[in-house]
């Protein structure tokens, strides 16, 4: 068994960000710039994600003191979504990065540890369970540095750390490669959708535009093309209980919440079926809306709104309509209330939609479906690889599986 040591008894330095008078305001951020300023979306449960980025100028960067990353540093989120971890290794394409006020840096100052090993152990259930047991606050969870210092790490000899990291990294590289392909394929479908249904470049012999749209297309609104579904689980069917997360997808509620938040009796819960859409109209993060694609059927809280498409639009067409930036902007714009916002079903009357002819929607579906199937296979492979990775680490640490020191 290896040593178990609290962070405060290691040479790992915990570095807070600069929260002084020079901390950037909204007006200091740019779409491009010298220094990437991390936001909450950039540090996820599976490492860095740079789809949404903001930057500050070199001049502003030089005004700030603490909180700038060096290669090998590990970032840990400490406010809001607590416990997400990412490593600033050579694969990160930015040379200048700073953390925001809801993060800290863990720095291996004396090179006594393997940075990759520290990254994996911080992601492990061994550490994550500690984090979630000591974090403070409910509406806005936090992990103060004084508590973070008390968290225990499993510290093998450096040679063993390196070999454990090598084994995990080989799996992680495959997962990252698959994620890259997934992103490319998703962007491909999005590009086709935009080309056909927004820019109207779906055909070289496009009909003459009439009132800004091709002949045969119809100006409409979303409300007129969907039906609300209020089917309840009166037969007490054993469907999984689902929640829609802010990323716009369904997850098992047991995977989203650390404790069961739904009733054991689900006869009052609403049934949502494949290709139907559901959302929580009263959730604080308005915009948590998704189409069910990974399950044949599931249950959602009675507060949820569930709807399906009328015969005028296909689920595939509407799925990619929902992914357009204007869709989420409309949800934010038409949400009612200040302290506790609400998005009523009737608000979809204000969502403009240009409905293409059905034959064109079906042509798009014929192209999109095989690409979606490839994406699904890559996601399934990643789920298997992630499970192997997550079970491999504790087995290597416990000695259940041998670690060949000579490999380092």
pLDDT recorded at residue 51: 85
Q: How far is CA 298 from CA 131, 234, 308, 355, 361, in A?
A: 31, 13, 14, 29, 27
DSSP classification of residue 351: -
Alpha helices by DSSP H, 124-249 = 125-134, 145-148, 158-193
Distance, in Å, from the CA atom of 71 to the CA atom of 96, rounded to the nearest integer, reads 10
What is the number of helices (H) and of strands (E) in the chain?
9, 23
Q: Please give the average per-residue pLDDT across 4-9, as a whole number.
A: 95
Q: Would the pLDDT of 158 be above 70?
A: yes
Residue 153 burial by Cβ neighbours in a 10 Å radius (0-12, 13-18, 19+) = buried
Query: Which has more pLDDT, 209 or 379?
Result: 379
How do strand 305-309 and strand 35-37 relate by DSSP bridges?
A: unpaired
Q: Please give the average per-residue pLDDT across 362-369, as a whole number.
A: 96
| Contact present, 223 and 349 (Cβ < 8 Å) | yes
Q: Would the pLDDT of 226 be above 90?
A: yes
Instruction: Read off φ and ψ for residue 85, nearest 5 degrees.
Output: -130, 140
Q: Please give the average per-residue pLDDT across 137-141, as a whole number.
A: 78
The mean pLDDT value of the chain amounts to: 89
Instruction: Read off φ and ψ for residue 75, nearest 5 degrees.
Output: -105, 135
Q: Would the pLDDT of 6 be above 80?
A: yes
Q: Which domains does the chain have, with CATH numbers?
A: 3-155 (3.90.220.20), 159-209+356-408 (1.10.287), 218-354 (3.90.220.20)
Find the radius of gyration of the CA atoms of the chain: 24
Look up the pTM and report it: 0.77
Q: Please give the average per-residue pLDDT across 104-122, as a whole number.
A: 95
Q: Would the pLDDT of 27 be above 90?
A: yes
Report the SS3 class of residue 166: helix
List residues bridging with 5 in a β-sheet. Answer: 153
| Contact present, 292 and 272 (Cβ < 8 Å) | yes
Handedness of CA 186, 188, 193, 198 (dihedral sign): positive
Distance, in Å, from the CA atom of 305 to the CA atom of 283, rounded to the nearest integer, reads 12
Residue 59 burial by Cβ neighbours in a 10 Å radius (0-12, 13-18, 19+) = exposed
Q: Would the pLDDT of 408 be above 50?
A: no
Q: Would the pLDDT of 259 be above 50?
A: no
Q: How far is CA 140 from CA 35, 82, 136, in A?
A: 28, 9, 8
- Copy the structure tokens of residue 45: 């449960």
Range scoring the smallest mean pLDDT among 34-38, 52-56, 327-331: 327-331
């Amino acid at each position: 068994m290896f040593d178990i040591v609290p962070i405060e008894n290691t040479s790992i330095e915990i570095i807070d960000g600069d929260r002084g008078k020079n901390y950037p305001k909204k007006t200091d951020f740019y779409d491009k710039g010298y220094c990437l300023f991390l936001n909450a979306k950039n540090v996820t449960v599976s490492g860095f994600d740079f789809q949404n980025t903001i930057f500050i100028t070199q001049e502003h960067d030089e005004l700030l003191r603490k909180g700038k990353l060096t290669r090998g540093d590990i970032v840990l989120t400490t406010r809001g979504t607590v416990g997400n971890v990412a490593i600033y290794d050579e694969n990160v394409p930015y040379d200048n990065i700073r953390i925001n006020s809801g993060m800290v840096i863990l720095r291996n100052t004396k090179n006594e540890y393997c940075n990759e090993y520290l990254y994996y152990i911080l992601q492990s259930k061994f550490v994550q369970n500690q984090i979630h047991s000591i974090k403070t606050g409910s509406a806005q969870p936090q992990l103060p540095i004084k508590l973070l210092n008390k968290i225990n790490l499993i510290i093998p000899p450096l040679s063993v750390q390196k070999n454990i990291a090598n084994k995990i990294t080989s799996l992680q590289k495959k997962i990252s490669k698959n994620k890259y392909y997934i992103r490319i394929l998703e962007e491909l479908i999005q590009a086709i959708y935009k080309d056909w249904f927004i820019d109207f470049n779906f055909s070289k012999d496009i009909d003459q535009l009439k009132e800004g749209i091709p002949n045969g297309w119809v100006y409409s609104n979303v409300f007129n093309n969907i039906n609300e579904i209020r089917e309840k689980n009166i037969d007490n069917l054993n469907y999984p209980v689902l929640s829609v997360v802010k990323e716009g997808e369904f997850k098992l509620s047991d995977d989203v919440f650390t404790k069961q938040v739904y009733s054991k009796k689900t006869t009052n819960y609403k049934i949502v079926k494949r290709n139907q859409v559901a959302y929580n109209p009263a959730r604080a993060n308005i915009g948590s809306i998704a189409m069910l694609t990974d399950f044949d059927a599931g249950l959602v809280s009675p507060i949820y709104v569930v709807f399906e498409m009328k015969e005028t639009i296909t689920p595939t067409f509407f799925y990619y309509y929902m992914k357009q930036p204007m869709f989420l902007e409309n949800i934010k714009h038409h949400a009612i209330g200040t302290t506790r916002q609400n998005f009523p079903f009737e608000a979809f009357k204000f969502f403009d939609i240009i409905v293409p002819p059905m034959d064109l929607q079906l042509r798009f579906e014929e192209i999109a479906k095989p690409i979606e199937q490839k994406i699904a296979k890559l996601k399934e492979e990643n789920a298997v690889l992630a499970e192997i990775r997550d079970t491999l680490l504790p087995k290597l640490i416990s000695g259940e599986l041998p670690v060949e020191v000579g490999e380092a």
